[in-house]
Structure 1
Amino acid sequence: MDDDPSRTGVDRDGSAGPSSIEARITDLARIGIVALFAYLALTLIAPFAIILVWAAILAVALYPAYAGLGAVLRSRRLSAALITLACLAVIVAPLTTIALSFAEGAQALLARLGDGSLRIPVPPEGVRTWPIIGDRVHAAWSMASGNLEALLGRLEPSLIQAGSKALGKIASVGAEVLSFVVSVLVAGFLFGSGERLAQVAQRFAGRIGGDRGVGFLRLSTATIRNVARGVIGVALLQAFLSALVLSLFGVPAPGAIAFVVLILCIIQIGPALVLLPVMIWAWVTMDFGPAALLTLLLVPLFVIDNVMKPILVARGLSTPTLVILLGVLGGTLSYGLIGLFLGPIVLSVVHDLLMFWMRSQPEGKSAA
């Protein structure tokens, strides 16, 4: 039996020898080098991380449609091109319409302020009865209705600051729409290598967590497809159809109304909260024929999700509405317009994985 302490790395008194210390230093150096390269890689990828994550989610959600269309057309490249063009039409076109609508509305408001054609009605006396702020609101409203230029002169510093922020927001919306375009194009390239990337992801998940890691990966894929198609997809369809119908009938600010419809549909409230006042406005301001036709076209939008979700959702959507709402709010506050769609999907995946982990038993207990 070899008891040489120089080979075991332990001195005769039981303390660590020089070889043991050298091995630890070598391990620390390896870990430091790997951490350094990981940090450099993350630094390089960080500016494009959100775009890549959204592109991966689109590729996962739409891969079954890509595979089915490719089998019908017998051409994977043509299928990827058609899916990419459809995504650009369905996702980017409504967002571009909404951004342009906001810009046109702001331009029209500034034009009316410039030529003095903007008129504000006299406030009702009931405004004075509002608690705490009634008198101040009535005084400011009365000044705006009687002498708008004087009110604007008093509020000029605040208006300049608000205008600069509004211009910055409009510019950021344009950049986010461009991010959507890039994400869709990247997703189109991911379709072709989808099978190979799926195998790499399964091997990585298996290396990290074994069979349970592969199960988590499959659950994540199912959740992404359910939320992306059953929630985001249906909401985009409702918002797009709402903007189209409202534009055909000359309803003011169709893009802004469609954007509110999109948010309400994503958080599972439905478009009725916005479209019902539009219908009432139509019956008050329009003739009987156009108002009836507008109502006839808007009513199906209230129930379209009840028809589309059973078709698009592979299993029952188990994500609570509160989780989706928090994902919408947190994603929008953190990442802007792209976070509006990314937040609920990511938070739904985290929720489903957490619930699955809490329901599953450790291997030792299950064996016992």
Structure 2
Amino acid sequence: MSTESREALGLDRLTRDGTELAAKLGVLALLLYWSYVLISPFLTIGTWSVVLCVALYPAYERMVRGLGGRRHLAAALLTVLCLIVIIGPATWLALDLVDSLRALASSADEWSIPSPPPRVKDWPVVGEPLYQFWDLASTNLREAFAKIAPQLKPVGGAMLGMATGAGVGVLKFFAAVIVAGFLFAPAPAFVAAAQKFVLRLASDRGERLLVLAASTIRTVSRGVIGIAFLQSLLAGIGFSMAGIPGASLLTSACLILAIVQIGPAPIIISSIVWAWSALDTTSALLFTAYMVPVNLMDNVLRPLVMARGLTTPMLVILIGVIGGTISYGITGLFLGPIVLAVIWELLMAWTSELDESFGEASPSGEPQ
């Protein structure tokens, strides 16, 4: 066989192998895409289930020991307990929010808006139309709302979509609690499978990173999410007992501020100021005596609950809260900071190990 024939045969074989490889990769990509489409509706539930199982597993083991080794009974009892703890506050918040909106709508006819000052007309561009609308609202608020109703429809649709997403998110979270209950008993088998998987990915540090991921989930869920939930719940009880308007909205604001590590102090201090201006002295004093410990409880509980200090920056937690809420609704409010905190801790551990390995590789002990 001549040289030209061998070269042509080799080129044909290379082309055939390349075409076959491209076809295999295409089929694999298509199968992966179809798999993602099929499981994407359950990703939030699955992620939440794993987070809850990891976070609550130490409590589950203690319950198993207390029940004499009956793992399935312990899983059922822990699931029911979690549902009771979650459904109660969630139902209270939802009903209180509905009552607040109903009271706001019923009092709309009693609102009084002062007449606009004449100097508003002199404002450039928007002065004249703003003055006319303001003047109409001061005399006939219902007609003023009817005038701007077409412009408010997109906003109303967006708010309705947010409310629907919040309701779906709550249902997904309840489903995740139930699914997590089924994960407690076979958890050791899942952990063994996860260890084999990470050892295949990174044999030298995979198991250590898996342990770090589990500890980070527990740290963030108990030291940040759990304390924030408890603190906001106690604050909401105080708001409702004091009769503060919009107690559910204030409770939600406390929850968000506590998760992002700012703390509910701005809301609680403002409510205390309101109490001293609107309530009698005894009621305001009792409200203050109750709310001050609630405001300070995170400073006491967080060092006791967290096994180690949270090294995740507040900016990462904040991005997780905002991004998670935008992407997954109300469940993302809790899930976002947990996932980002785990990724951050794993990334920091990985980079620190690289730095140590790089330093050890240098004979002089300094990076080269």
| Aligned residues of 2:257 and 2:263 also touching (Cα < 8 A) | yes
AA of the residue aligned to 1:227: V
Post-superposition offset of 1:153: 2.6
Partner residue, 1:188: 181
CA distance in 2, matches of 1:38, 1:57: 24
Partner residue, 1:40: 34
* Deviating 4+ runs (over 6 angstroms): 11-15, 17-26, 131-134, 136-139
Post-superposition offset of 1:325: 0.6
Please, what TM-score do these two structures have when normalized by structure 1?
0.85
Partner residue, 1:108: 103
Post-superposition offset of 1:14: 11
Partner residue, 1:146: 139
Q: Residues 13 and 226 from structure 1, CA distance in 2 versus in 1: closer, same or farther, beyond 3 angstroms? A: same
| Aligned residues of 2:116 and 2:134 also touching (Cα < 8 A) | no
| Aligned residues of 1:239 and 1:261 also touching (Cα < 8 A) | yes
Deviates more, 1:308-317 or 1:146-155: 146-155
Q: Secondary structure at the match of 1:207?
A: helix
CA distance in 2, matches of 1:149, 1:37: 57
Q: Secondary structure at the match of 2:354?
A: coil
Deviations 1:42-96 (A, max 9, x none): 2211111111111111111111111112212223223222322332233343333
AA of the residue aligned to 2:315: L
Q: Residues 139 and 231 from structure 1, CA distance in 2 versus in 1: closer, same or farther, beyond 3 angstroms? A: farther
Partner residue, 2:72: 77
AA of the residue aligned to 2:77: L
Deviates more, 1:75-84 or 1:27-36: 27-36
Deviates more, 1:134-143 or 1:186-195: 134-143
AA of the residue aligned to 1:260: A
Partner residue, 2:298: 305
Post-superposition offset of 1:364: 7.6
CA distance in 1, matches of 2:105, 2:272: 28
Post-superposition offset of 1:349: 1.3
| Aligned residues of 2:321 and 2:332 also touching (Cα < 8 A) | yes
Partner residue, 1:50: 44
| Aligned residues of 2:169 and 2:328 also touching (Cα < 8 A) | no
| Aligned residues of 1:103 and 1:170 also touching (Cα < 8 A) | no
For this pair of structures, how many residues does the alignment match?
355
| Aligned residues of 1:327 and 1:347 also touching (Cα < 8 A) | yes
| Aligned residues of 1:91 and 1:236 also touching (Cα < 8 A) | no
AA of the residue aligned to 1:194: A
Partner residue, 1:343: 336
Deviates more, 1:28-37 or 1:341-350: 28-37
Q: Residues 279 and 142 from structure 1, CA distance in 2 versus in 1: closer, same or farther, beyond 3 angstroms? A: farther
Counterparts of 1:76-225 in structure 2, within 5 Å, are: 76-113=71-108, 116=109, 118-122=110-114, 140-225=133-218
Post-superposition offset of 1:345: 0.9
Q: Unpaired segments of 5 or more residues in structure 1?
A: 6-10
Counterparts of 1:14-25 in structure 2, within 5 Å, are: 16=10
Counterparts of 1:350-365 in structure 2, within 5 Å, are: 350-361=343-354
AA of the residue aligned to 1:344: P
Q: Does 1:293 align with 2:281?
A: no
Q: Secondary structure at the match of 1:270?
A: coil
Deviates more, 1:52-61 or 1:84-93: 84-93
Deviations 1:134-182 (A, max 9, x none): 9677765554333212312321223444334333332222111111110
Q: Residues 160 and 106 from structure 1, CA distance in 2 versus in 1: closer, same or farther, beyond 3 angstroms? A: farther
AA of the residue aligned to 2:194: A
Please, what TM-score do these two structures have when normalized by structure 2?
0.85
Q: Residues 89 and 239 from structure 1, CA distance in 2 versus in 1: closer, same or farther, beyond 3 angstroms? A: farther
Partner residue, 1:62: 56
CA distance in 2, matches of 1:261, 1:208: 41
| Aligned residues of 2:162 and 2:329 also touching (Cα < 8 A) | no
Q: Does 1:246 align with 2:239?
A: yes
RMSD over aligned Cα, in angstroms? 3.1
Post-superposition offset of 1:242: 1.3
Q: Residues 111 and 64 from structure 1, CA distance in 2 versus in 1: closer, same or farther, beyond 3 angstroms? A: same
Q: Residues 295 and 206 from structure 1, CA distance in 2 versus in 1: closer, same or farther, beyond 3 angstroms? A: same
Post-superposition offset of 1:246: 1.5
| Aligned residues of 2:53 and 2:183 also touching (Cα < 8 A) | yes
Q: Unpaired segments of 5 or more residues in structure 2?
A: 363-368
CA distance in 2, matches of 1:13, 1:133: 78
CA distance in 1, matches of 2:180, 2:126: 53
| Aligned residues of 2:116 and 2:135 also touching (Cα < 8 A) | no
Q: Percent identity?
A: 39
Partner residue, 2:307: 314
| Aligned residues of 1:61 and 1:224 also touching (Cα < 8 A) | yes
Partner residue, 2:267: 274
